[in-house]
Structure 1
Amino acid sequence: MKLAVVVLALAMTGCASVTDIEHTPATMSVMSGKNPQEYAECFVGKISDSREPSQVEPHKDGLRVIVPQKFASSTPTAIVDIERRSGGSSIKLFEDGGNNPLRPKDIQHAVTACISG
């Protein structure tokens, strides 16, 4: 029964585009003493243990990290926007299915692990 619930929850999340994900409410918003490049390097290093390589691109006054799904590396599942602020960065995490309590927590763990300088 539990397996059926997990499979159903994963099936309901579907495939989202970067545009779809960036229009969802942020699931996490934090500040870091690291500049955007340092934070992105830390985050990509932490998340690489559980996923295919993330795509890092310039965005506004900082960087955007597009995180692929665990099993479909061409489909994004999360976006991490890292903007330069005085003394560090502001970080916002947007996730596909961010209101799903059964979603993997590896992305959130990587976001919080990289906060401190």
Structure 2
Amino acid sequence: MRILIGALAVALLAGCTTPSDLLKGSPELSGRSKKDPKAYALCVYPSWQDYRSSSVMSETSTGYRIVAGSEMNGQTDDVLDIKKVSTGSSVKLYQRVAWQQLGRSDLKSSFNSCL
């Protein structure tokens, strides 16, 4: 029984996804905005809060990052990376399960409408 519980715990931990893990892959969406990173982040953030009230917006050394994840299993599901470029912002949306868009459509809508 102990072995079974230990194996289950290891399997659950192995499945955790962090923001860094998502940023290593290819973005689901990418684009450029004439807005500076803070203005763009403030434009899209309400949609992220509607999607997950636990969404977090933070300032990075190159711009802003918004992260949404599942509170139940500790998974990071979505990351929006907003970086300062000479013409405004470069924005990239990373999604853990990109094919599953249930409840996420507003994220993509705000991504495009705030450009």
Q: What TM-score comes out, normalization by structure 1 length? A: 0.71
Segments of structure 2 that go 5 or more residues without pairing to the other structure are 1-14
Q: How many residues align?
A: 99
Provide closer, same or farther for how the CA distance between residues 52 and 15 of structure 1 changes in structure 2, counting only shifts above 3 A: farther
Provide closer, same or farther for how the CA distance between residues 59 and 73 of structure 1 changes in structure 2, counting only shifts above 3 A: farther
Provide closer, same or farther for how the CA distance between residues 109 and 15 of structure 1 changes in structure 2, counting only shifts above 3 A: farther
Q: CA deviation at 1:75?
A: 3.5
Q: Would you say 1:56 and 2:57 are equivalent positions? A: yes
Q: Would you say 1:33 and 2:31 are equivalent positions? A: no
- Which structure is higher in helix share? 2
User: Within 2, Cα distance between the matches of 1:73 and 1:81?
Assistant: 22
User: Within 2, Cα distance between the matches of 1:106 and 1:68?
Assistant: 16
User: Within 2, Cα distance between the matches of 1:53 and 1:113?
Assistant: 22
Provide closer, same or farther for how the CA distance between residues 85 and 28 of structure 1 changes in structure 2, counting only shifts above 3 A: same
Q: CA deviation at 1:45?
A: 1.5
RMSD: 2.2
Segments of structure 1 that go 5 or more residues without pairing to the other structure are 1-13
User: Within 2, Cα distance between the matches of 1:31 and 1:44?
Assistant: 17
User: Within 2, Cα distance between the matches of 1:75 and 1:25?
Assistant: 18
Instruction: Give the % identical residues.
Output: 25
Who is 1:103 aligned against?
101
Q: What TM-score comes out, normalization by structure 2 length? A: 0.72
Q: CA deviation at 1:15?
A: 4.7
